[in-house]
Amino acid sequence: MSYFPTEDRDGTTIVTLTNGDRNTLHPELLAEGISVFQTLAKNPPDKGIVLTGAGAHFTCGMDTKVAATLDKAGQKQAAAAIDAFAAALHRLPCALVVALNGHTIGAGGIMALAADWIVAAQGDHKIGLPEAKAGLPFPPVPQAILDHWLDPVWRRRLALSSHLLNPVEALSAGLADELADPAQLIDKAVACAQELSSQPGFKACKRQLRAKANAEIDTILNG
């Protein structure tokens, strides 16, 4: 069974992160995700990509039980996998819309910031970056994504306090671009991906906008 099953919706590829009740991340899952998104980057769908989570959560971040079993070498490999996974998302040449269907914690927030547009379901779920509370400092690529795509004031507030936001608060902080009724979330995200993709200059503008961040990410990965 794939951790990242895909489906086509009128030219838009929907990728659904699927791993148990909380969609937590671990090295094997990240390795598959890297492969999935690198493959999509080589042959991008004409009408973009939507990334969402299965069930009630987008992702609750790293699997703490798996992380607790890793020795130093394993921890280093896991951090490298997070870097490569975040880079694969950030480098996608086509439109990427994330559909936050529930709790979006830690690495989930980085995944959202790597996208071109963030649609969050309305509800009482939480969105945030509690790495300080979890004792897991940001790996270099997620930190670069934070530096480029989150307002400095909110970056300081969220990274140091571990405060979690509801969807309305996330909209104000820049961790969401718009809200949607949960029943219409995927339809709205697909429509966003298709609207972005329909612009003749979208890919060129995205390439320009991300050039500095991608150069920094390349230096991190190749350093």
Q: Residues in the chain with pLDDT < 50?
A: none
Distance CA 62, CA 175 (A): 19
Q: 124 vs 24, 56, 75, 94, 140, CA distance in Å?
A: 19, 11, 33, 31, 31
What is the sign, positive or negative, of the torsion defined by CA atoms of 144, 147, 150, 153? positive
In a domain, 215, yes or no: yes
Question: Helices in 43-151 by DSSP H: which ranges?
Answer: 64-68, 72-90, 107-113, 131-134, 140-149
In a domain, 91, yes or no: yes
In a domain, 93, yes or no: yes
In a domain, 168, yes or no: yes
In a domain, 82, yes or no: yes
Per-residue pLDDT tens digits for 104-145: 999 999 999 999 999 999 999 999 999 999 888 899 999 999
Domain region containing 143: 6-222
Q: Residue 60 CB: number of other CB atoms within 10 A?
A: 23
Core vs surface per residue 100-123: b (16+ CB within 10 A) or e: bbbbbbbbbbbbbbbbbbbbbbeb
What's 182's DSSP letter?
G
Helix (H, G, I), strand (E, B) or coil at 125: coil
* CB 174 within 8 Å of CB 154: yes
Distance CA 146, CA 114 (A): 9
In sequence order, what are the beta bridge partners of 165? 127
The region, left, alpha or beta by phi > 0 then psi within -120 to 50, assigned to residue 3 is: alpha
Strand (E) or helix (H) holding 96: strand 96-100
Q: What is residue 49's predicted lDDT score, i.e. its pLDDT?
A: 99
* CB 88 within 8 Å of CB 37: yes
CATH classification of the domain holding 112 = 3.90.226.10
In a domain, 60, yes or no: yes
In a domain, 1, yes or no: no
Distance CA 220, CA 33 (A): 19
Distance CA 113, CA 77 (A): 23
Q: What is residue 127's predicted lDDT score, i.e. its pLDDT?
A: 98
Q: What is residue 33's predicted lDDT score, i.e. its pLDDT?
A: 98
> How many domains does the chain fold into?
1
Q: What is residue 106's predicted lDDT score, i.e. its pLDDT?
A: 95
In a domain, 19, yes or no: yes
